[in-house]
A and B are shown apart, each in its own frame.
Chain A
Amino acid sequence: MDLEFTEDERQFRSEVRAYLLENVPERIRQAVYEERPIPRGWMVEAQQILNRAGYAVPHWPLEWGGRNWSPLKRAILAQEIDRNSVPKPLPFNVALIGPIIAAFGSEEQKRRFLPAIANLDLWFCQGFSEPNAGSDLASLKTTAVREGGHYRVNGRKIWTTYAHDADWIFCLVRTSKEERKQQGISFLLIDLASAGVEVRPIESIDGFHHLNEVLFEDVIVPAENLVGEEGEGWNYAKYLLGQERTSMGNVGFSRRRLDRARALAEKPRSGASGSLIDDPAFRRRLTWAELRLKALEITQMRVVASTPLQGVDPKTSILKTEGGEMLQEAAELLLATLGPEALTAGFPEEAGPEDSYGLDERSGILSAYFSSRKYSIFGGSNEIQRNILASAVLKLGRKR
């Protein structure tokens, strides 16, 4: 056992921090700190700065830009990116489709897509959920029918984050009807510029437009865009679950929110009422949150430092639920700093040219509060995670 960071790990942390602060423009970091919508161009700019240093896809295979860094170092990197208000590398690119293509794609697909995905020259969004396939994802109905050298795709995907900013979408589609609904699903890459694709915006309760519905009507997709083998899509999607776990807990992000809540609460208020931090009830709640976050940070390190299990490590379910609840609690504490101004804060405008950010820091807080409800819903709701913990870890409901 060695419960402290090694010298090497500490040094890595300061190197990363120094690089981020020196290279990522302050306008971008300020907008992220204030939780304003980030323009597409700024996201691309930030990811390319990260990619130059090897920070965008360190977990990928070496030949495609990965680094030989320990999972612990990668967790440190992820924390520093979040904590220093740098936009995360686009998860759909670096954590989802990249690893899938690297593991199951053809050589041609790897050459064509992986460098562009790492550098965000190509923006992917994720087409998994459907109106009637949420937690029960395997009941998805979007079909892809093979017609000679192409597939004909029909159906609807929903809750597609950034589809309006994306160039491509990776989809789970049904290529055949089998006895088990998990069979007959394939993994398809679709150019959003194809004829018959329609992206419809879904406005959300946080005032943003980041969610979309994506409709496919007789969309022709070249057969070479199939990833791996037909009918194996479900297994590829499952493969993702056990992948990059180093940023699962969102530790750096929660830390940034809690630090911000503390800083706002420590500001003197006008009048004689002192600072919010002097309110014992608020302070205790903040203390609890800080304690829980420290525990989560260690849990995150314990998960990444342990030898990966074959298949899915159920401990990631703990990271997922705890990480999501932590972000929600941090958002609630930020909301508490607003007081009655929550009514007038409004929702934020997209960050603009350099002179327009930082004008009203309250709007992002309100928006973040509403937006944070998503953390216990997407990627397997917290109820699904508890099902996994109960069955895979505790072995409940079956004879032992």
Chain B
Amino acid sequence: MNFDPSEEQTMLADMADKLFGGHAAREMRDPEAEWRDSLSYGLTGLPFPERLGGLGGGHEEIMLIMEAMGRHLSHTPYLQAVLMAGRVLALADRAELSGLLEGGFRSALCLFEPGQRYCWDKPVTRAERSGEGWILDGAKLAVLDLDRRCALIVPASVPEGVGLFLVPPGSAGVALDIRPTPDGRTAANVALDRVRVPPGASIGDPAGNAALLSEVLDGAILASCAESIGAMERLLSLTVDYLNVREQFGVVIGTFQALQHRAADMLVAIERARSMTIYAASMMEAAAPHRTIAVAAARALVNQSSRFVGQQAIQLHGGIGLASECAAGAYFQRLTVLETLFGDTDHFLSIVEQGGGLPAD
């Protein structure tokens, strides 16, 4: 075991820090500029194997740049376009991946459905054969960073299992309801009303697509854990800074032991989350059920830490913590979005329990 980043990894982390830190310093967030920069700095190609035109980076590298995104509250649709939709394309060997790597093509994975909470492997959305192609009917929910120019990747039930369909932007029968998320990004609800797609739109193999999606999802959840850790660490440091300048009763409030201990508990919660995320990363090459349990366990603990750190940061800021002008709130909002993005804490604990607990070592 060795937890120290290599020289290359340190350089990558520094680069990501500068890149997203620079964007954070701008007066207005510009997600499109961040997205273009992610591409030109090589981050878009990072997770893909070299034979597919990527840079062959591993989960550790992804975690380093996700941490930087969390630290700087990045608005780039990296998680969605690269780590979710992009990885589906890569694992299914789709030619559209080169469009992503060259720029110009973006897609979004539409995982969840109304009324189904976090269940994604038994879609109510259906695909029926129609001549050579397919007709899709159903609805999808809360698709992060779905832009009108994005193609949709839609899981839909077919007799053989889970079909995956690539729906071009602007297809007839697709209605998007794009809404702002609490952390300043967007999430869309998607209605699919007899959407016709050509034969080539079917991705992968319905019998194996659930396994493919599970692998993609586990990788994305791990990445989201790293993003949460980056956000939590910065939020704690903002809080400590505030405790060291804010004066009440004639002294800085950071001298009060009750507040010191709360901050110490936040630190402990963050270290716990980081350790569990490292554990999940070490399990990414394990057999699929073990990998999924380890990732679920990590996200459950990261969720717990996020909620504690987020809420206590607001508490320790006092009144100003409720004001939008205060940076702490934006971190709290981002942490909350990440907490509910792939499943809430109870959902992930249930996955761990149904899988029989953490794998023995």
Co-complex (A, B): yes
Interface residues of A, Cβ cutoff 8 Å to B: 1-6, 9, 72, 262, 283-284, 287-288, 290-292, 294-299, 301-302, 305-306, 315, 318, 321-322, 383, 385-387, 389-391, 393-400
B275 / chain A contacts, CB cutoff of 8 Å: 294-299, 302
B243 / chain A contacts, CB cutoff of 8 Å: 396
A6 / chain B contacts, CB cutoff of 8 Å: 1
A76 to B226, CA, bound (A): 27
Interface string of B2-41 (1 = CB under 8 A from A): 1111100100000000000000000000000000000000
Q: Are A1 and B260 in contact, with the CB atoms below 8 A?
A: no
A306 to B1, CA, bound (A): 10
Q: Are B254 and A298 in contact, with the CB atoms below 8 A?
A: no
Contact of B3 among A296, A306, A397 (CB under 8 A): A306
Q: Are A292 and B301 in contact, with the CB atoms below 8 A?
A: yes
Q: Number of A-B pairs whose CB atoms are under 8 Å?
A: 127
B271 / chain A contacts, CB cutoff of 8 Å: 299, 315, 318
Q: Which residue of B lies closest to A293 (CB)?
A: B358
B236 / chain A contacts, CB cutoff of 8 Å: 394
Q: Are B260 and A387 in contact, with the CB atoms below 8 A?
A: yes
B198 to chain A, nearest CB (A): 43
A386 / chain B contacts, CB cutoff of 8 Å: 260-261, 264-265
Contact of B240 among A5, A291, A292, A395 (CB under 8 A): A395
Interface residues of B, Cβ cutoff 8 Å to A: 1-6, 9, 60, 236, 240-241, 243-244, 252, 254-255, 257, 259-261, 263-265, 267-268, 271-273, 275-276, 278-279, 281-282, 297, 300-301, 349, 352-353, 357-358
A389 to B275, CA, bound (A): 18
Q: Are A3 and B3 in contact, with the CB atoms below 8 A?
A: yes
Q: Are A301 and B352 in contact, with the CB atoms below 8 A?
A: no
Q: Are A3 and B281 in contact, with the CB atoms below 8 A?
A: yes
A297 / chain B contacts, CB cutoff of 8 Å: 275, 279
Q: Are B267 and A389 in contact, with the CB atoms below 8 A?
A: yes
A318 to B236, CA, bound (A): 16
Q: Are B349 and A1 in contact, with the CB atoms below 8 A?
A: no
A394 to B333, CA, bound (A): 23
Q: A9-B1, A318-B271, A390-B261 are in contact. Are A298 and B276 (CB under 8 A)?
A: yes
B99 to chain A, nearest CB (A): 32
Q: Which residue of A lies closest to B279 (CB)?
A: A298
Contact of B353 among A287, A298, A389, A397 (CB under 8 A): A287
Q: Are A390 and B263 in contact, with the CB atoms below 8 A?
A: yes
Q: A1-B60, A287-B357, A390-B260 are in contact. Are A294 and B240 (CB under 8 A)?
A: no
A288 to B252, CA, bound (A): 37
A395 / chain B contacts, CB cutoff of 8 Å: 240, 244
Q: Which residue of A lies closest to B252 (CB)?
A: A397
Contact of B268 among A302, A305, A318, A400 (CB under 8 A): A318
A302 / chain B contacts, CB cutoff of 8 Å: 3, 275, 278
Give the interface centre of A4, A299, A397 by most chain B CB atoms within 10 Å.
A397
With A287-B353, A299-B275, A390-B261 given, can you name 8 additional A-B contacts, CB distance below 8 Å? Answer: A262-B357, A287-B357, A288-B349, A291-B300, A294-B297, A295-B272, A393-B267, A400-B244
Q: Which residue of A lies closest to B60 (CB)?
A: A1
Listed by A's residue number, 12 A-B pairs whose Cβ atoms lie within 8 Å are A1-B5, A2-B2, A3-B282, A5-B1, A291-B352, A297-B275, A305-B3, A306-B3, A383-B261, A386-B261, A390-B263, A399-B252
Q: Are B1 and A387 in contact, with the CB atoms below 8 A?
A: no
Give the interface centre of B2, B4, B264 by most chain A CB atoms within 10 Å.
B264
A283 / chain B contacts, CB cutoff of 8 Å: 353
A72 to B3, CA, bound (A): 12
B247 to chain A, nearest CB (A): 11
* Interface residues of A, dominant DSSP: helix
A-B pairs with the 9 shortest C-beta distances? A390-B260, A298-B275, A3-B282, A389-B264, A386-B264, A397-B255, A295-B276, A396-B254, A295-B275
Give the interface centre of B5, B252, B267, B358 by most chain A CB atoms within 10 Å.
B267
Q: Are B268 and A291 in contact, with the CB atoms below 8 A?
A: no
Q: Which residue of A lies closest to B345 (CB)?
A: A288
Contact of B4 among A1, A291, A296, A398 (CB under 8 A): A1
A266 to B311, CA, bound (A): 37
B316 to chain A, nearest CB (A): 11
B7 to chain A, nearest CB (A): 12
A248 to B4, CA, bound (A): 21
Q: Are A394 and B264 in contact, with the CB atoms below 8 A?
A: yes
A63 to B300, CA, bound (A): 47
A301 to chain B, nearest CB (A): 6
Q: Which residue of B lies closest to A75 (CB)?
A: B1
A83 to chain B, nearest CB (A): 11
A290 / chain B contacts, CB cutoff of 8 Å: 357-358
A9 to B282, CA, bound (A): 15
Q: Are B349 and A287 in contact, with the CB atoms below 8 A?
A: yes
B239 to chain A, nearest CB (A): 9
Q: A299-B271, A318-B271 are in contact. Are A396 and B263 (CB under 8 A)?
A: yes
A296 to B273, CA, bound (A): 10
Q: Are A299 and B3 in contact, with the CB atoms below 8 A?
A: no
A189 to chain B, nearest CB (A): 36
A70 to B272, CA, bound (A): 24
Q: Which residue of B lies closest to A301 (CB)?
A: B1
Q: Are B244 and A398 in contact, with the CB atoms below 8 A?
A: yes
A295 / chain B contacts, CB cutoff of 8 Å: 272-273, 275-276, 279, 301
A250 to chain B, nearest CB (A): 15
Give the interface centre of A306, A396, A398 by most chain B CB atoms within 10 Å.
A396
Q: Are A292 and B272 in contact, with the CB atoms below 8 A?
A: yes
A234 to B260, CA, bound (A): 26
Contact of B2 among A292, A305, A383, A398 (CB under 8 A): A305
A292 / chain B contacts, CB cutoff of 8 Å: 272, 301
B60 / chain A contacts, CB cutoff of 8 Å: 1, 3
Q: A3-B278, A288-B349 are in contact. Are A322 and B260 (CB under 8 A)?
A: no
Q: Are B1 and A2 in contact, with the CB atoms below 8 A?
A: yes
A163 to B317, CA, bound (A): 49
A392 to chain B, nearest CB (A): 10
A367 to B260, CA, bound (A): 34
B273 / chain A contacts, CB cutoff of 8 Å: 295
Contact of B276 among A2, A291, A390 (CB under 8 A): A291
B257 to chain A, nearest CB (A): 7
A321 / chain B contacts, CB cutoff of 8 Å: 268
Q: Are B260 and A4 in contact, with the CB atoms below 8 A?
A: no
Q: Are B1 and A299 in contact, with the CB atoms below 8 A?
A: no
Q: Which residue of A lies closest to B236 (CB)?
A: A394
B300 / chain A contacts, CB cutoff of 8 Å: 291
Q: Are A322 and B268 in contact, with the CB atoms below 8 A?
A: yes
A393 to B264, CA, bound (A): 9
Q: Are B2 and A1 in contact, with the CB atoms below 8 A?
A: yes
B260 / chain A contacts, CB cutoff of 8 Å: 386-387, 390-391, 394, 396-397
